[in-house]
Amino acid sequence: MNKDKAIITQVAAKIAAELIIKSENLEATCADWEMAFNYVNEKLQEATGMSEEANLNNAIRTFNADVMPTPTITATKEPIIQSGGSIQIAGKQHGDLPNWLISACMKAGVSKVWDNRDVAVGTRRPWFKQADAVDGQEPAAFWPPKGN
């Protein structure tokens, strides 16, 4: 992490601490802080041109590169097998899917997940769990990466 990004991260952490309402429940307070930190950090990085998107655009210009298309994401109740690295949601989807999930699913060979964010955020439960596991196979579980 370069010096400028480290300063932005520290500022975001301080702002997030001031934004949240502290409670007796440490886990809930930490979850609130994490959510506020992620939001503020993202907005500060966008404002200063240090976001991942800005870095990607700079790399594309520098190396005259082509960008691979983003995988298609569908939300269905019925299992539909699609090719091309798409991720499907079993049951109800709770908001936009994060980029880290798509990468993690592709790496684990998972094409369909349950979206558990409605009950998992702020707990130790996984945010997403594999919905297409074969009988006898332990379903893969996905948590947000540290710092997200």
pTM of the model: 0.42
Position 73 scores a pLDDT of 57
Mean pLDDT per block of 10 residues along the chain (148 residues) reads 80 88 86 88 80 69 70 50 62 88 88 91 89 86 83
Position 4 scores a pLDDT of 77
CA atoms within 13 A on the CB side of 122: 13
Position 83 scores a pLDDT of 33
Position 77 scores a pLDDT of 45
Position 30 scores a pLDDT of 87
Position 78 scores a pLDDT of 41
What is the pairing mode between strands 73-76 and 87-90? Answer: parallel
CB atoms within 10 A of CB 94: 16
Angle at 8 between CA 35 and CA 53, to 5 degrees: 75
